[in-house]
Structure formats: C-alpha cells, structure tokens
Amino acid sequence: MSRHLEATIETFPIAGSFTISRGSKTQADVIVCTIFENGFSGRGECVPYRRYGETVDGVLSDILAIVPAVENGLSRQDLQAKMKPGAARNALDCALWDLEAKKSRKPVADAIGATSREPVVTAFTLSLADPATMAEDARKNSDRPLLKVKLGTENDEERMRAIRSGAPRSKIIIDANEGWTEANIETHLAIARELDIALIEQPLPAGNDSFLSRIERLVTVCADESVHSTADLAALRDRYDAVNIKLDKTGGLTEALNMKAEATRLGFQLMIGCMVGTSLAMAPAVLLAQDAQYVDLDGPLLLAEDRPGGLRYEGSLVYPPTADLWG
C-alpha cells in the first residue's frame, strides 16, 4: 500500500454576508484533505469554527501532525482514538470513507445502509438583520417549505412576527445561537408557539442550559452547541427534544452514524446540519440525513459560487452526491 495525504486551504466568497448573533462573515474558509492510494483518491472537507476554539491554521496543523499515521495505513476506526472530535478529524474521516468507496466500488450509501437515496428538503437560512429586512427576506423566500432564521437578541418578538408575516406558509426554525437568557426565553417560546414556529435551536448558552429542564418547552427545542458527540447525549435528555448533528462537530461520518443511532434510541428528534461550506462538505451529510426530521444543508446556497461538480439543488431539494463528488 502506498498512501499520500494532501491538505489545502480554500476560500469561497459568501453571497453578500452571513450574520448571526455572534457576528458576520463574508467568506467560507475550508480545508480539503485528499488521500491518494494506488491510483485511487478520496476527499473530505471541513470548516474550522471559532466558537469551538478552532482556526484554519490550527486545524491544518492538527491534520499535518497525523499525516505519517494516515500514510502508514491508519484506519477510520483508529482515527477515532487518535484525534478528538472536530473539524480536523472530519476532513480525514470523510476522505477515508470516500477512498474506501472508490477502491471497493461500493458507494458509501451501501456501506452505511442508507434507507433511502432520495432528495431531501433542506432549510434555507436567513441572516440576522433588523425586522423590516428580515420580513422582506422571508417574503422573497416564502415559496420555500422550510426556513431557518438566525436570531438571538434581547428581544426577538418583533423579528419573529416579521418573519412569520413574510412567510406565512413556510415551516420555520429559529436559531438563537445561544443568544437568549433565562429572563426572556419563556416569553420567546410562548411567542414562537403562537406563531407556529416548528423548532428553536440552542436558545441558551452551552454549559448554562439547565434552565431548559425546569420550564415548559412550548416548542421543540434542539441542541446544537451543547452537543458534539455521542457521549454528550445522555445528559441532555431533560433539556432538549432534538439534537443537531454536524460532521464538523462529531469529527466525521463515522462518529455521526454512532451519534445518530444513539440519539434515536434515546428518543431525540434529529436535525442534520452544517457549517457554511461547499458541496463536498455537505455530501456525506446528505446521506446521513435521509430519515432525519429536519435537514439544514444549505451551505452551498449561501456561497457566491459552489465548487465545480457540486451537489444538485432544485429549490429546497438537495440530491445525494454522485460518485464524482464524493462517496
């Protein structure tokens, strides 16, 4: 066996800007790992995230540190023990999955027992802005069946009402990005129920969310920053009704599959989510999302331009990847 690993930083401009309660960004910085072996190659993409203490340079250093082990034949299973969950392991894990599929000529969908290979409805994300702007953004996208809206301010009532007025028939997810407080969450949940909001994502800060176990959750509440891997799930059963599984948090598809199975066993609803990246980052997640209650894999739709040969999007439908892209 002769293996070679390359890791490269790539930058993709965002269409306009992407704004959440923690700030704005105008480009997506991603790292692509490619593993070459005996004429075959497998790719994986990750998106380092500062909220989790990651930087592009730091994640690249973590990947380069494990190059000798990967080139000496490190398996996906061994990788789980060698690296912590996070973006670096995600790129490597997904590259190994892709490499295995190319070598065996067996699609990843077969290997993971994907129950379906159909397009899934993904949410389309609206950035945080003033209420009038958000109402107009919602109106422009009111034909989409599922919208995800970035909130997380001291008083989001006006924004929630504006969004619902702009998209009266869409199912709506509110992502508070840890921006609500114990003082305002019950009011915001009551308004969300009144407006028929489907789900609230991470309303309180991770590590300071026990208050959720002491109030009536009037709307389905989903953990994001509070949950990274399978080991986190059991402690969240009294606080959350759903969990958001992202490959950049779990450290790849291998752990995401374990987490999905355990979350289902524990009775959580499932959201399969993403960072803002290209179709290469979304591809494995589309397979993971086939039977999830909520799918949020619109990263490429937020870019000015996706990478060549990306996923097929038709409106809010995203199709499983072709072998040329991944898996």
- Catalytic sites, residue numbers: 150, 246
Of the candidates 296, 295, 321, which has an alpha carbon nearest to the alpha carbon of residue 307?
321
Where residue 246 falls (left for φ over 0; alpha for ψ -120 to 50; beta otherwise) is beta
Residue 45 backbone dihedrals phi, psi, to 5 degrees: -120, 140
Bridge partners of 85? none
Where residue 80 falls (left for φ over 0; alpha for ψ -120 to 50; beta otherwise) is alpha
How many residues can be counted in the chain? 327
At CA 183, angle to CA 181 and CA 189, rounded to 5? 75
Bridge partners of 272? 245, 295
Of the candidates 197, 219, 217, which has an alpha carbon nearest to the alpha carbon of residue 209?
217
First to last CA, the chain: 21
Q: Is 4 helix (H, G, I), strand (E, B) or coil?
A: strand
Cβ neighbours of residue 219 closer than 8 Å, sequence gap 6 or more:
189, 192, 193, 197, 198, 199, 200
Strands 40-46 and 23-37: antiparallel
Q: Is 314 helix (H, G, I), strand (E, B) or coil?
A: strand
Q: Which helix (H) or strand (E) holds 222?
A: strand 220-223
Residue 172 backbone dihedrals phi, psi, to 5 degrees: -125, 130
Bridge partners of 317? 121, 314
Cα(110)–Cα(172) distance, integer angstroms? 32
